[in-house]
Amino acid sequence: MKRQKTVRFSGPAAQMVLGGMLAAGLVWALAALAEGPPKTPQGKHGEAGMEEQLAELQKLQPAGDVTEPPAGFDPVVWAAFIPEDNKPTPQRIALGRKLYFDTRLSRDGSVSCATCHDVTRGFTDQRAVSEGIKGKLGKRNAPTTLNVAVFQMLFWDGRAATLERQAGMPILNPVEMGMPDEATTLKAIRDLPEYQQAFKDAYGREVNYRDLERAIAAFERTLVFVDSPFQRFLGGDAKAISPQAKAGWELFNGRGRCVACHQMNPSNPLGTDNRFHNVGVSARHQNFEELATQALAALQADASEQKLDELTVATDLSELGRFMVTHNRAEIGGFRTPQILNVGITAPYMHDGSMNTLWDVMDHYNKGGEANPFLDGGIEPLALSEAEIDQLVAFLFTLTDVRFAAENQRQFARQQAVAKKDRPFRDNALALRRTLPFEQRVEGGKSTPKDKE
């Protein structure tokens, strides 16, 4: 009696099984491709692990240090943004990189800059609002750290005048990295020889907070990613973007009225005018008058920068935007125009992350934002058609650096699928000017006619 049976892959049944396995494998592989390499959230707050991020960064920036003005920026304007006391050197950039990924700078050792500005997630966290120590949620969406070098001021409300100042603030914010003060932060790294050496090499000084800020800023200045298909189109490659995207670009400059705030030119290619506008996001949730009264009371009690930082990120006063910094009544609810480079991979959108897809953003502007007494006057219904909205979105997705093409494609597919199912911000009656902004407020607050054709 033969005890051993050799299983042979032959015969029609076997072939079917084999075929089935191959097919399944193919489907799985395709699905995996569409999904991308599985994001293994090894970080405590849903971000990719620090090691993985560093590896990804290495792939994106093989050259590592950038001390020359990068391609795509006007060199004269670029030079104007480098501060005298923080000229980029390989040592400073290396120190900054080290600090950027170091979770020791947070109170419970779980949060670093890279937690909310994740290399694998468009240098943001792709969440509506960010999560800090102990799982605390803030009130604001994390802007991307891509291309921050040429921002004129940082944060949604511009409360940091320089990249250096911005780098140091989240560390001390109770819902972000949660350190109580600078001294405690420094204690976490001061005794480590690698840091002592790094600080000496970079700035010739002891470990100190100002240099910590400088180093992080120096590193962030290397994150220049402006090589998008659109940039190549502007450079003369007519085939770099689709005809739909070209039509979107026309609309961007024309009936879409986008270009007035999202300015793009060689000296400022980011698509922001560095000003503050109330575009009526979430205006229906706020009583701005009441909030402003509260804010002034709070700020008179404690006028420190750290308090301001806390109020704007952790409390409802976040909705006041620029007003928190300037106390200008005209700037209540005003937020800085974000850059639109790489916008495809930095969802969700707006200061509170309330908009999931770019189609939502288009719907919001198309209907003229949300009427409120502080609404920026330039916001008005645009009466764009569905086709035109698609063209604009197509254009916006061409603004992503080619190195992020895979992520961009994934995001496009995801957003398109979500937008097909639901467009919560759409209001055709307002967009097509059948109902007018303020009309409902004036005529006794009738319910919004949600006209979904």
Partner 1 sequence: MRHTSIQCRAGAASCILLAGLLAGCADDTPQPKRSTDVDEVRVKAATTAKGDEETVQVGACDGASAVEVPKTLTGQALAESLMDQWKRNHPEANWVAEEKERHTLQPPADNSKLLKGGQAKGDAYGNFTERDLLTWARETEKFAAEGSRIFHDADALGSTVAVSCDMCHPHAANTHPETYPKFQVQLGRVVLLRDMINWCVENPVRAAKLDPDGPKMRALEAYILAQRKGIMMNYGKH
Partner 2 sequence: MAVHRTSVQNDVLRRDGVRATRASARGFKSVETRYLAERSALFCGLRNLDRRSFLKVSAAALGATAGLAAPHSFTPVCVAADAEDAGAKPAFKFAYISDSHLYEKSVNDRFVRGLLRGVDDVNHLDPQPDFVFYGGDLAQLGQPAQLDLGAQILKNVKAPLRVMVGEHDWYFDMGQKWQELFGKPTYSFDHKGVHFVVLNSVVERDFWTARKMSPLERMKTVAGLDNGVQSSFTVGEEQRNWLKEDLAKLADDARLIVFSHSPLYKLYKKWNFWTDDAEEVQAILKRFKQVVVIHGHTHQLLTNRVDNIHFHGMLSTAWPWPYAPEGMPELTIQMSRPDPFDPNDGCGDGEVRVHADGLIDKVYSLWNRNPITVSRAYTVSWGKESVPPKPNRVSY
**Which is closer to partner 1, CB of 142 or CB of 279?**
279
DSSP E strands, 250-402: 276-277, 335-336
Q: Most distant CA pair in the chain: distance in Å?
A: 96
**Which is closer to partner 2, CB of 119 or CB of 160?**
160
Q: Pick from 58, 253, 293, 328: which binds partner 1 (CB under 8 A)? A: 253
Residues 33-92 that bind partner 1 (CB under 8 A): none
- Measured CA to CA, the distance from residue 157 to residue 165 in angstroms comes to 14
Residues 98-157 that bind partner 2 (CB under 8 A): 152-153
Q: Pick from 54, 209, 234, 316: which binds partner 2 (CB under 8 A)? A: 209
Residue 437 and residue 364 in contact, taking contact as beta carbons nearer than 8 Å = no
CB of 189 to partner 2, least distance (A): 15
Decide if residue 301 touches partner 2 (CB under 8 A).
Answer: no
CB of 201 to partner 1, least distance (A): 41
Q: Pick from 210, 232, 257, 403: which binds partner 1 (CB under 8 A)? A: 257
Decide if residue 325 touches partner 2 (CB under 8 A).
Answer: yes
Tokens read off for 240:
């770099």
- Measured CA to CA, the distance from residue 349 to residue 363 in angstroms comes to 13
Residues 229-258 that bind partner 2 (CB under 8 A): 257
Decide if residue 264 touches partner 1 (CB under 8 A).
Answer: yes
Residues with Cβ < 8 Å from 335, sequence gap 6 or more?
156, 157, 276, 277, 278, 279, 281, 321, 322, 350, 351
Dihedral of the CA atoms 385, 386, 391, 397 (nearest 10)?
A: 130
Which of 127-135, 257-265, 351-359, 439-447 is the region at the interface with partner 1 (rule: CB under 8 A)?
A: 257-265
CB of 273 to partner 1, least distance (A): 7
Residue in this structure with the two tokens 């489907």, named with its chain if needed: 27
Compute CA distances 156 → 140, 159, 307, 310, 339, whole Å: 8, 8, 16, 14, 11
- Cα-only R_g, the chain: 25
Gap between the terminal Cα atoms of the chain: 75
* Site mask for partner 1 (CB under 8 A), range 271-300, x = bound: --x---------------------------
- Amino acid in position 353: G
Residues forming contacts to partner 2 in the complex (CB under 8 A) are 80-81, 83-85, 152-153, 158, 160-162, 165, 181, 205, 208-210, 257, 260, 274-275, 289, 292-293, 296-297, 300, 303-306, 323, 325-330, 371, 373-374, 376-378, 380-381, 433, 436-439, 441-444
Task: Give me the residues that bind partner 1 (CB under 8 A), please.
Answer: 253-255, 257, 259-260, 262-265, 268, 273
